[in-house]
Amino acid sequence: MKWSQTLIPTMKETPNGAEIPSHIFMLRAGMISQVMAGAYAYLPLGWRSLHKAINIVRDEMNKTGAVEIFMTALAPQSLYEQTNRVEAFGNVLIKSTLVRGGAKTPVVFCPTHEEEVTSIVSQYVSSYRQLPLVLYQIQTKFRNEERPKFGVLRTSEFTMKDAYSFNTSLESLNESYNAMYDAYCKIFTRCGVPYLPVEAESGPIGGDASHEFMIPAANGEDDVVYCPKCHYAANVEKAEIGETEYARPADAVLKEVAELPTPGAHTIEQVCKFLKAKPKKVVKTLIYDVDGTPVAVLVRGDCDVNENKLRRVLKAEKVELADEKTIERVTGAPVGFAGPVGLKEKVKLVADPTIKEMVNFIVGANKAETHLVNVNVDRDFTVDVYGDVRNAILGDPCPHCHEPITMENAIEVGHVFKLGTKYTEALGAKYLDEKGEQQTIIMGCYGIGVSRIIAGLAETSHDDHGIIWPVSLAPYEVCVCPVKATDDAAMAAAEKIVAGLEAAGVDAILDDRDERPGVKFKDADLIGFPVRVTIGKGLADGKVEVKWRWEEEASLVSVDSVVDELVGQLKEERDTNARFYAAKNAKKN
C-alpha cells in the first residue's frame, strides 16, 4: 500500500478535548475521528488495528471450539421485557420504534445478546446430544452511556465479542468457563496488552462466579485490589476485606460527648472543614432501605458503603439508599445529620468493624445543623451487626494472607460469568436428558470489549513521540521510507521491498510522499509502526536501515536480504510479541 493512496490525517497538535494518551495519539495518528460525543469512526489505520484484534479474538475463540454466528443489532423490545431487562437497563438501553404501515414495533439497539441467543437456542436445541454448545459473535453493541469519555475507551457504540455457553451440568459449565478464561489470557498476551484477571461482581446480569480482565492503567475507571504477596486480585466492588481484630488502643482516653453546631455542613467534607478534622475521625451514618425496612449503616468517613456487600451481610433482596422522607422520619433531622446516637426511630445498626478501634469520633446528631464529637462505640451506642459492608481501601488486610493490599486503576476489557439458568428459565430454553426428562439449560457468558483492546494498548504502550504497536496489532507492520521521494533509485528499491514483503504476507506501507525526512520520521513514530525501513544514502553501498520502534538503534541491512530477514523476524514476532515484551520489561527495570 502506498501512503499517498490511503487516508492518514496525522496531526501535529493535540485536538481540543483529548486529554489521555490513547485518545490523543489515536486522534493525532489519524486512526479515529469523532462523530459525536461517545461515537468514533475508525479511519483506515484504526480500522486495520481493530481488525487485527478481531482476528486474534476470532482465532482463539475458534480454537476453544466456540462457533461464530452473527445476530442482529436491532431486536424487538418485547424480548427484553421477558427477562425484565428493559427496566434493569433503564436509560442505558437505546430504544426506537419501527413504523410499518399503521403498525408500530418498539425495538431496542442491543446492549448485549443473552436474550436473542437464548431465544435462538431454545428454538433449535432440544436434546442433550446437542450440548454443550458455545456460540459467539463479534458485533457492535449499543449502550447509552450517561457520560461517554476518554475517546474510544467509553463510547455508546463499540465492538464487542460476546460468547455464550449452553451446558447441561455445572461441571460442563466450569469446563466452558475455564476454556474461555484460558482463551482470554492467550488473546491479551497475543495483543500485547498487560492484563490482570480479577474477581468481580456479576452485577445486574445476574449469576454466580465472575472474573473481569483488567488492563492496569492510570486512566482506568475501575479500581482493582491487589495483594503483592499472595496475588489475590479483585475489583474493589467485590474485594473482601480480611478479618482482623479491631479494638480501641488500651490507653485511649474517652472524652465527654459534646454537641457542636455545624451550620450548612451536611457532607463529610464540609463537616471536616468546619470542625477541622480528618475524614478518618468521622463516622458516616447512611440510612438504607433494605427490603422496605430502614437500616442505619456506619462506616468511617473516608470509606464507601458497598451495597452488594450490605445485601449479602443482611441476606436481603434489595438494598438502596433511603429517600429523604424516610431519613427524616428515622433520624428526626434533615439529610446530612444522621448519627447512631439517639435515633428517633429504632432501627437496626449495621457497622463496619473498623469503627471499633476509633476513639472520640464525630457523628451526626440527628438534629439539624448539629454534630456530636467524642462519640465512642459501646459507650454511646451499640451496634447490632458488624460485617464487611464497605469497599476495600489501600492497606486493608488481604482476605487470604492478611498482608496489606494495594490498589490500582484499570480498564475493564473482558468479563466472564457463570450465568446459571436466569435466561434459559425466563425464555424456556430446555432440553431432554438421557432419561427423557426435561431440563433447563445452564448458561455462561463471556465478553471482550475489542475496541477497548486497541485503546488499552495505546494507553499502556506509548512514548513522547506516539504509540508503540506490537506487530500483532499494528496497522502496518513495516513502514518503508525512502528519504527522498524524488530519488528514482531509492523509490525503485522501496517499491521492490514493499512488493517483496507484501508477497510474503507482511503488511507494509510505502511512504511515497514527497515530504522532508523529518516529517516522515515523526509520522512513523507517531503512528508507531513496529518496523521502519529507511532508504537513504546507504543505498549506494547496497544497504538500508532497519529500525524497530521500541529499540534505540537502527541496523544496516543489505537491500537484497532485508525482505527475507524481516519476513522471518516478523513471523516470529507476530506469534510471540517477544521483542515487544522484552523491550517493555527492559524499560521497567
Partner RNA sequence: CGGGGCGUAGCUCAGCCUGGCUAGAGCGCUACGUUCGGGACGUAGAGGUCGCACGUUCAAAUCGUGUCGCCCCGACCA
Residues that bind RNA (CB under 7 A): 10-17, 19, 23, 28, 34, 36-38, 88-89, 92, 111-113, 141, 143, 145-150, 160, 162, 203-205, 221, 415, 447, 465, 483-484, 486, 516-519, 521-526, 534-538, 545, 547, 554
C-alpha to C-alpha distance for 116 and 114, rounded to whole angstroms: 6
Smallest separation (angstroms) from RNA to the CB of 538: 5
* Residue 127 CB coordination number (10 Å): 10
Smallest separation (angstroms) from RNA to the CB of 390: 14
Question: 403 or 487, CB closer to RNA?
Answer: 487
* Residues 449, 413 contacting (CB under 8 angstroms): yes
3-state secondary structure of 541: helix
Question: 43 or 398, CB closer to RNA?
Answer: 43
Question: 150 or 232, CB closer to RNA?
Answer: 150
Smallest separation (angstroms) from RNA to the CB of 438: 28
C-alpha to C-alpha distance for 118 and 444, rounded to whole angstroms: 11
Residues in CB range of 45: below 8 A, 6 or more apart: 8, 29, 30, 31, 475, 476, 527
Question: 11 or 67, CB closer to RNA?
Answer: 11
Smallest separation (angstroms) from RNA to the CB of 60: 17
Joined grid coordinates for residue 416: 466472564
Smallest separation (angstroms) from RNA to the CB of 233: 17
Question: 114 or 574, CB closer to RNA?
Answer: 114
Question: 365 or 481, CB closer to RNA?
Answer: 481
Question: 479 or 563, CB closer to RNA?
Answer: 479
Smallest separation (angstroms) from RNA to the CB of 12: 5
Question: 167 or 235, CB closer to RNA?
Answer: 235
Q: In Å, how far are 23, 504, 526 from 16, measured between CA atoms? A: 11, 41, 18
The interaxial angle of helices 170-191 and 44-63, nearest 10 deg, is 140
Q: Rounded to the nearest 5°, which phi and psi values hold at 11?
A: -130, 140
Smallest separation (angstroms) from RNA to the CB of 295: 17
Query: Position 483: which residue type?
Result: V
C-alpha to C-alpha distance for 430 and 375, rounded to whole angstroms: 58
Instruction: Please state the separation of Cα 142 from the chain's center in Å.
Output: 16
Smallest separation (angstroms) from RNA to the CB of 142: 10
Q: Which residues of 91-126 are buried (b: 16+ CB within 10 A; e: fewer)?
A: eebbeeeeeeeeeeeebbbbbbbbbbbbbbbbeebe
* Residues 512, 491 contacting (CB under 8 angstroms): yes
